[in-house]
């Protein structure tokens, strides 16, 4: 028998498919999977939030408040009270015992913590030019309480972390990747929450002052140095211009009147 | 510019993935060309896994020959593998890596046998190992080692 060596054509040990096509399939699957997980978590978190008594929320709030060094501020309290007084009788917000604090931080922000605690950063106050603007910001935060957004966010965040860790282990690359994808969904959800809180704020502002003057002033000042809309795809808040447009549309739809705004009194 | 700085880790990730894909597939194509060409050149040198037995007077020399190679994965292949870890199935991106390593190891073994003037390698064995303790851990790039060894036989003319 004569030995004739032949070189084999092709390669059975390597799959033929193109790696980029495989990447597309896998990424598509990942987005679909995390979207589904986020949806289920959302439904569960929302259900749990609706069953959570305000007492438990107050307890969580006390824990959260310890994270922020803040002081009472009578001037802010007075304005918040004015807004609370103009709430409808049947509003669920009456169950909260609201407290407002001023924190000496340069951030332009205000946050709603569980249990009716609102923390306003001094950086935000410095930008305020009228009473109406300030009321709009406070009413926006009250909107977060009305929709119980702070608890929802907490529930979803916890759910995401727990699910990714349980499925893929604490320090694995896969759970890292999944958390990052989920975060994108989370930001989108957060933008929707902010828009809803804006709408609530607008309605309350109009109830309190009898007109919608000053509702968009603060956002137009933010808009001046907000720049391009592109970075806002991944941000927790919508682009200021989008917020202004949404508010103006609502003002037009509800035929809110716009009257003269009151300048900020100086005691702050 | 601001958006690039804000999502710096995302940018690094994309750059690494694109770099991994372009550099990785260029190196792989080049390597396969070289493997195919050298396999053709060395095709006359027979390699078998059988033990083989020859009449002692025909054998001039018998010696251990080995060839080993280490190939690193690239970032893109790792990304595909991580995604595969989620869904399961064949990790196709690693198949070519192991294939290249094994064939290169056999080629190196054959080259060293050829230098000795051998005409056949018997009892060939192949082994594969991961290099580095961190080969399968997060945020580290693993690599694969393949070693081929066998007995090179130099025949009497």
Average pLDDT, chain A: 80
Interval A219-262: pLDDT, tens: 888 877 767 776 676 677 888 888 888 888 888 888 888 877 77
Helix axis angle for A217-224 and A131-146, nearest 10°, is: 100
ipTM score for this prediction: 0.77
Average confidence (pLDDT) over B63-86: 89
Residue of A nearest to B36 (CA): A7
Q: What would the pLDDT profile of B7-62 be if each residue is shown by its tens digit?
A: 677 788 888 889 999 999 999 999 999 999 999 999 999 999 998 888 989 999 99
**Is pLDDT of B142 > 80?**
no
pLDDT at B36: 94
Place of tokens 């390593």: B101
Q: Please indicate if any CB of chain B lies within 8 Å of the CB of A228.
A: yes
Torsion of CA B10, B15, B21, B23, to 10 degrees: -160
Give the count of beta carbons closer than 10 Å to the beta carbon of residue A181. Answer: 19
Q: How sure is the predictor about A30, in pLDDT bands with cuts at 50, 70 and 90?
A: confident
Q: Which of B82, B122, B128 best tests the A interface by mutation, with the highest count of A CBs <10 A?
A: B82
- Choose among B46, B80, B139: nearest Cβ to A19: B80
- pLDDT of B138: 53
B90 shares contact with chain A (CB less than 8 Å): yes
Give yes or no for residue B141 having a pLDDT over 70.
no
Q: What distance in Å separates the CA atoms of residue A236 and residue A224, rounded to the nearest whole number? A: 19
Token duo for residue A154: 């907490």
Closest CA to A203 of A254, A258, A128: A254
Give B99's contacts in chain A (Cβ within 8 Å): 11, 13-14
What Rg value do the Cα atoms of chain B yield, rounded?
Answer: 21
8 Å CB contact of A14 and B95: yes
Domain B2-155 bears CATH identifier 3.30.110.70: yes
Q: pTM score > 0.80 for this model? A: no
CB pairs under 8 A between A and B: 73
pLDDT, one tens digit per residue, over B85-108 is 888 888 888 999 999 999 999 999
CA distance A104 to A121: 6
């Amino acid at each position: 028998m004569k030995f004739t060596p032949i070189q084999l054509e092709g390669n059975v040990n390597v799959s033929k498919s193109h790696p980029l096509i495989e990447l597309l399939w896998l990424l598509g699957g990942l987005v679909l999977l995390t979207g589904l997980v986020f949806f289920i978590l959302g439904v569960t978190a929302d259900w749990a939030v609706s069953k959570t008594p305000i007492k438990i929320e107050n307890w969580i709030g006390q824990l959260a408040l310890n994270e922020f060094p803040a002081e009472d501020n009578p001037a802010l309290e007075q304005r918040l009270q004015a807004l609370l007084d103009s709430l409808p009788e049947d509003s669920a917000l009456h169950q909260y015992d609201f407290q407002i604090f001023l924190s000496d931080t340069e951030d332009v922000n205000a946050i709603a913590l569980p249990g009716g605690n609102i923390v306003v950063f001094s950086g935000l106050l410095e930008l305020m030019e009228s009473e109406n603007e300030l009321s709009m910001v406070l009413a926006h935060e009250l909107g977060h309480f009305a929709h119980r957004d702070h608890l929802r966010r907490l529930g979803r965040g916890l759910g995401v972390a727990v699910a990714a860790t349980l499925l893929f282990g604490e320090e694995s690359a896969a759970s890292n990747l999944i958390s990052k994808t989920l975060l994108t969904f989370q930001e989108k959800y957060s933008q929707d929450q902010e828009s809803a809180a804006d709408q609530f704020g607008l309605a309350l502002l109009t109830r309190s002052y009898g007109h919608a003057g000053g509702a968009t002033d603060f956002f137009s000042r933010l808009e001046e140095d907000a720049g391009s809309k592109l970075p806002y795809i991944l941000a927790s808040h919508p682009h200021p211009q989008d917020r202004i447009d949404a508010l103006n549309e609502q003002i037009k739809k509800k035929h809110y009147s716009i009257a003269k705004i009151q300048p900020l009194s100086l005691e702050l | 510019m601001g958006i690039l700085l804000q999502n710096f880790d995302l940018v690094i990730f994309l750059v690494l993935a694109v770099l991994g894909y372009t550099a990785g597939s260029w190196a792989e194509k080049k390597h396969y060309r070289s493997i195919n060409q050298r396999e053709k050149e060395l095709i006359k040198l027979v390699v078998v896994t059988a033990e083989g037995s020859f009449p002692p007077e025909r054998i001039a020399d018998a010696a251990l020959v080995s060839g080993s190679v280490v190939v690193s994965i690239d970032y893109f292949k790792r990304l595909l593998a991580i995604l595969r870890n989620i869904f399961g199935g064949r990790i196709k991106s690693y198949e070519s890596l192991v294939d290249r390593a094994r064939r290169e190891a056999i080629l190196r073994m054959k080259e060293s046998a050829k230098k000795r003037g051998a005409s056949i390698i018997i009892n060939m064995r192949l082994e594969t190992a991961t290099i580095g303790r961190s080969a399968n851990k997060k945020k580290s790039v693993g690599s694969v080692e393949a070693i081929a060894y066998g007995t090179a036989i130099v025949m009497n003319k």
